[in-house]
Structure 1
Amino acid sequence: MTFSASRRLPAFLPLAAAVALCFAAAPAVAQSVAAQTLAPIVITGARFASDPAFAPIGATVISADEIRRAGINDVNSAIRKIGGVYGRQSLDGSPDFSLDLRGFGSNSSQNMVVVLDGVRLSENELLNAVLTTVAIDTVERIEITRGGSSVLYGDGATGGIINIVTKRPTSKSGSGSVYTEVGQLGQREARGSIARAWDGFALDATLGTQQTDNYRDNNDYKQTNFSGGAQWFTAAGRMGVRLDSLRQDSRFAGSIKTLSEYLANPRQTSSPDDFGSLDSDRVTAFISQRVAGFDLAAELSHRQKTVKSSSGSGSGLYTAQYDSKQTQFSPRLRQLANVGGMLNEVVAGIDLTRWERDTKSIYGGFPTSAAEASQRSKAIYLRDEIRFDAAHDGRLAAGVRRELFDKDFSDALGIGTVRYNNNQGLNAWDLQASYAVLPLLTAYAKAGQSYRVATADENAFTPKANTPLQAQTSHDLELGASYGNAERKVTAAVFRHKLRNELFYDPTAGAFGANVNLDPTKRQGVELSASAVVAADWTVSGHYQHVQATFTEGVNAGREMILVPKNVLSARLSWTPANGQSADFGAQWVDSQRYGGDVDNSCSSRMPSYTTFDARYARKFGQWELALAALNLGDKQYFSQAFSCRGGIYSSAGRQMKISARYDF
């Protein structure tokens, strides 16, 4: 859940200014840049701007044009609607749905990593990455790489990574836009953005506000976000500083206790007095430079977040506040060179992270928690990729990673776990290969080991007090092939993840449930993606995932994991004639799945399958664009979150019509 505190200015703004001044004085920037530009690049593959020869194997790419054409206003929606990633309705009314790569159910957010221009956004808590901090107008592309990726991205990358790349400046350019939208369910949104680049220096800023009553009672949501940056660039690299700030206020509808109550009134609330807020501020300094045949890059990022929540009333009032901060430093280098006539890329890097959180909670006027938690991690990784056959794009890659974790927790007022110190060391590796066996047919294979460590939230509520959980490990395998070109292309893959000590909340553990290490589990399945230009103005695309998520050993051997649909199918049809009109139509079908809580598969029914549609039509008039859009066009009554057998239901939204206007300058 997400909720925030004071409306103060970030305490570290002076740091941002100081870093900017240091960058401004850097000798490299003093060079003449009269004819230099920094064209759009992709931070992907081996965490550097990709050479075309080393584009990531098997990735799904969402472009800024696709986002604009679909009329999508936030990053999370773009990943779900265009990228075909399954998402579950958020529990707090925000647009940050729980994204699920490869069927990890209720812990899906902790089994994938979200990265923004090299900075990890995934949280060291049981929370979704707050993608609403990323202004949609700043996004150049989103890249989705499914499957184990712990060598480059560390903890929690078993399901894959989502890499968000923002736009890069071009010398002597300027642009801006103003956008406003109104719709049903009290939807109101406005945002403005501006970017200006001179010779070697660029500034950009985006400010937006959004509010909605949402579909359910007591589910109002308000948000204001700002993103701004300054950067200096030359032909050899760039450096800069960026600030992303978010304020959210939410009211929490809670779960509907039974299926019959849901069917009678899916809009009702079970918690009319519950509310919360979230403040998040992140400042990032970055640099990339080419020196003596090496590419050097680093990001230094600091994030402060305050989460507040309040539930109940009177003598049963419960309030909580979480204040956390996280600092990341990720220096790395790359050498791209010809070795014996073959192009070779070697990448080495270090990831250093420190996270701290203070928690205070009160129930009925009495303090119930005063917890302090921290996690420090340090990692080193090395990856080598070689293109051994340029004619057939033959590639081989291998990588290793070693990461050390030091976790501390104390809560003198806690019940159960009150203190622990835990040190863990984990290894990851991967091997990848691809080869164009025919002019339009490329086959590839991936194998590796990935890992995840328990969050502070998970270790605070375990079956045995003061005993942290073991790390989760996964052996990952994927075989795939891609056929076609830019006009028509289809990609197919089969995958398997064999997990040990999977970290999971088991509602059947003990008297009240607990976070546990599960008996061995497995995810295996098939993925298909395709796109085609079917006529001069028409493009169709689709994504399909079939996944089997099961226990392989123990008392539940052979039983299905909860909250994992076996099949998810997404499709989009786009019409873009040259007369200023455009239309976009999307559909998604989600198969039935086990209710949350049904670990032993004893519930006699499953969460129903559902199909939803969305559509948008837009028309340009010079610099203006007017659009009409609809979400859940068929007004389907459905839900994607339910935490007990035929109960604990969070309703998804019904049909919503919206109109918008955009002015570009």
Structure 2
Amino acid sequence: MYSAASTRGAPAVKPIALACAVSLSLFAGAACAQDDIPSTVVITGSRFPSVASLRPIGATVITQDDIRRAGVNDVNGAIRKIGGVFGRQSLDSSPDFALDLRGFGTNSAQNMVIMVDGVRLNENELANTVLSTIPIDTVERIEITRGGASVLYGEGATGGVIQITTRRAVAGGTHGSVFAEGGSFHEHDVRASLSQTAGSVSADIAVARQGSQNYRRNSGFDQTTASLNLQTRFTGGRAGIHLESARQETRLPGAVTLAQFEADPRVASTPNDFGSLNTDRANAFAEYRLGAVDLAADLSHRERNLRSNYLSFGSTNAYDGRQDQFSPRARWLANVGGMLNELVGGLDVTRWKRKTTAPYSNADASQSSQAVYVRDELRFDPAHDGRIALGARHENFDKEVVDVLGGVAPEDRSQSQNAWEAQASYRVHPLVEVYAKTGQSYRVANVDENGYRSSVDILKAQTSHDLEFGTTLRHAPGDDSRTLTARLFRHRLHNEIFFDPTANGGWGANTNLDPTERKGFEIDAEALLAAGWRASAHAQHVLARFTDGPNGGRELVLVPKNVVTARLAWVPGNGQSADVGAQWVDSQRYGSDFSNGCAARIPSYTTLDARYAIKLGPWEVAATGLNLADRRYFSNAFGCKSGIYPSDGRQLKLSARYDF
């Protein structure tokens, strides 16, 4: 978050009536009353709540129960440990690991889209999306959809989309919880949440204070968060507002060489550096059903104030950014000739600005984008769950930047891009469902990439031709207690935007790469083994390489070929529960190894975590262990045997929770 630019070469709204629209009564063409909401309406693949028959193809869903049982304290951890997504150690001391869908290495954050309640969180800069500020107790579910999804979600969705849905409706009366945890490295986590429903109005508030001295020296982290949800229901819809604020202080231990890591993995190379991050978000939503059409809109505002104090280099930097987004959309869902048809269309309008104050830059940068999209999905054979979907998107970008101190003359550039997709699925056997997806996704260079580039003009837009085939197997018709999903995928990229350490006379620069490719397979499995026992596993195999040019055939950097995650949960129903998880990550090329000539690779590693909990009335007491084998390893390294950010050692924690 604080040092990504320097290490990579740059200068240092779901209404009650809306849910009814997709219930079985609407399926038959009838109107739906507000009290008839089916509890299973949770799928959001079309940016609207939907029924299971129109669920996102190939999606992984993490529920609130999954999060509680695994004992993870933040959204990022839930995505990695439960969803099986690979994550690299953060460059600061925060728990916001760099998540990577489908092997995009150091640019993984720019090749996936993260949404919270319909609002895009991605920044127009080289920074990971900050998820630690989202109160974990307010998260209802997380949906991970791998593969190109630019039609609905815009630029940067080649690797996939992660959608986080927070609690927007609560049962009547007053409910809440208090949580406290302490552990190794002076770790502490105190959280409280309270929800109240009175008639048609509901409120949900959550506050938290987290901190730790962490494993490495000079890697302390402290964060305070608060959030408030207010909503009201009315005939035909609902409206509300979500407010969130976070204050984060972190120390910056810096990167080390392999020799330093092997001698002492807790060493800090920059013992005096530190930084801070303040974020404030506000989102207003409104949704309404008008005849056969569902209408929805989100209006959001986000401010982000970052301070980095690199005393080791005599540099103090400030980045002040703001983003506004307006996303109106409509959905027509109806029975057409005996077939369920869902037609979705909408606009995404975004304005982003950032002011930089640093010894090397006084840049004022801005970007605006306007997009229109449409997608139609038809369920043509309900008996075999036959579905076909087509969609398209057009988006315009306007970029402006001026930096007198940095020697950048005023620039004003425009770009436009198109995306399309075609999907189909069919149940060829009561136990076997197959699907196929193809399309084109894209992303444009952000302000940091264009600010330190290899070309005279701004970098070209990156495009990807995406292809995926998959199948889901069940052990009994309509029974999801034992499922196996396998996916084959391929992304062929042109003008991939990446930092090339060999460019600019060896100083490195952001550039458009020669043609590249990501291809491989993924396997997701879940099984109810016996009463109270459930197992799950996620495996990914990906080949990331150049397909043409001087580097043709060479591997891309910081991409493990294989990642395997497995979990075993025990919930016997007597108040006890246990959850054990392991993740194995294959070896990787060091971050600077474009020539594949480095004599070493980042070693493979396996981590193990576990949690045991017991409920005593309204109380739950738990013991949690992370990296139980105390494995010394690292997942992030930007040079050959250097630029290493060591990962955490073993950590033990005790917690208590009270629900009321």
Shift, 1:280, TM fit:
0.4
Match of 1:15 in 2: none
Shift, 1:317, TM fit:
1.4
Shift, 1:432, TM fit:
0.2
Match of 2:28 in 1: none
Match of 1:454 in 2: 445
Deviation string 1:27-85 (CA, Å, 9 cap, x unpaired) is xxxxxx99687967436111001122211100000010010011111100000000000
Q: Does 1:423 align with 2:442?
A: no
Match of 2:490 in 1: 496
Match of 1:359 among 345, 356, 361: 356
Match of 2:621 in 1: 626
**Which residues of structure 2 form unaligned runs of 5+?**
4-32
Aligned equivalents of 1:41, 1:260: Cα separation in 2: 54
Contact 1:480 1:491 in 2 (8 A): yes
Match of 1:509 among 500, 503, 509: 503
Matches within 5 A, 1:604-623: 604-623=599-618
Match of 1:642 in 2: 637
Match of 1:410 in 2: 402
Aligned equivalents of 1:131, 1:235: Cα separation in 2: 34
| Paired AA for residue 327 in structure 1 | D
Match of 2:481 among 474, 487, 492: 487
Shift, 1:234, TM fit:
3.8
Q: State how many pairs are aligned.
A: 626
Aligned equivalents of 2:384, 2:451: Cα separation in 1: 52
Q: Does 1:62 align with 2:62?
A: yes
Aligned equivalents of 1:448, 1:232: Cα separation in 2: 39
Deviation string 1:180-230 (CA, Å, 9 cap, x unpaired) is 000001101101001111221100100000010011111111000111110
Aligned equivalents of 2:236, 2:385: Cα separation in 1: 27
Contact 2:41 2:51 in 1 (8 A): no
Contact 2:317 2:356 in 1 (8 A): yes
Q: Does 1:541 align with 2:536?
A: yes
Residues 171 and 645 of structure 1: CA distance in aligned 2, closer, same or farther (over 3 Å) = closer
Q: Structure 1-normalised TM-score?
A: 0.93
Aligned-partner SS, 1:48: coil
Aligned equivalents of 1:489, 1:217: Cα separation in 2: 44
Q: Does 1:192 align with 2:192?
A: yes
Matches within 5 A, 1:325-340: 325-340=322-337
Matches within 5 A, 1:440-479: 440-465=431-456, 467-479=457-469
Aligned-partner SS, 2:480: coil
Match of 1:20 in 2: none
Residues 459 and 533 of structure 1: CA distance in aligned 2, closer, same or farther (over 3 Å) = same
Contact 1:171 1:199 in 2 (8 A): no
Q: Does 1:80 align with 2:72?
A: no
Match of 2:26 in 1: none
Contact 2:40 2:51 in 1 (8 A): no
Contact 1:206 1:226 in 2 (8 A): yes
Matches within 5 A, 1:157-172: 157-170=157-170, 172=172
Aligned equivalents of 1:132, 1:654: Cα separation in 2: 20
Contact 1:37 1:170 in 2 (8 A): no
Contact 1:37 1:200 in 2 (8 A): no
Match of 1:663 in 2: 658
Match of 1:259 in 2: 258
Deviation string 1:446-480 (CA, Å, 9 cap, x unpaired) is 00000000000000001245x21000000000000
| Paired AA for residue 193 in structure 1 | S
Measured on the aligned residues, the alpha-carbon RMSD in Å equals: 1.4
Aligned equivalents of 1:295, 1:133: Cα separation in 2: 31
Aligned equivalents of 1:171, 1:585: Cα separation in 2: 31
Aligned equivalents of 1:288, 1:40: Cα separation in 2: 19
Shift, 1:172, TM fit:
2.0
Contact 1:151 1:430 in 2 (8 A): yes
Aligned equivalents of 1:468, 1:452: Cα separation in 2: 13
Matches within 5 A, 1:196-215: 196-215=196-215
Aligned equivalents of 1:47, 1:562: Cα separation in 2: 34
Contact 1:182 1:659 in 2 (8 A): yes
Aligned-partner SS, 1:109: helix
Deviation string 1:415-463 (CA, Å, 9 cap, x unpaired) is 4x44321100100000000000011210000000000000000000012
| Paired AA for residue 229 in structure 1 | N
Aligned-partner SS, 2:448: helix
Aligned equivalents of 2:401, 2:617: Cα separation in 1: 59
Aligned equivalents of 2:191, 2:40: Cα separation in 1: 23
Contact 1:332 1:349 in 2 (8 A): yes
Aligned equivalents of 1:613, 1:152: Cα separation in 2: 36
Shift, 1:336, TM fit:
0.3
Matches within 5 A, 1:221-240: 221-234=221-234, 236-240=236-240
Aligned equivalents of 1:611, 1:51: Cα separation in 2: 38
Aligned equivalents of 2:630, 2:34: Cα separation in 1: 56
Shift, 1:411, TM fit:
0.1
Aligned equivalents of 2:223, 2:376: Cα separation in 1: 43
Match of 2:296 in 1: 297
Aligned equivalents of 1:2, 1:280: Cα separation in 2: 14
| Paired AA for residue 406 in structure 1 | D
Match of 2:546 in 1: 551
Q: Does 1:135 align with 2:135?
A: yes
Match of 1:594 in 2: 589
Match of 2:280 in 1: 281
Contact 1:37 1:169 in 2 (8 A): no
Shift, 1:173, TM fit:
3.5
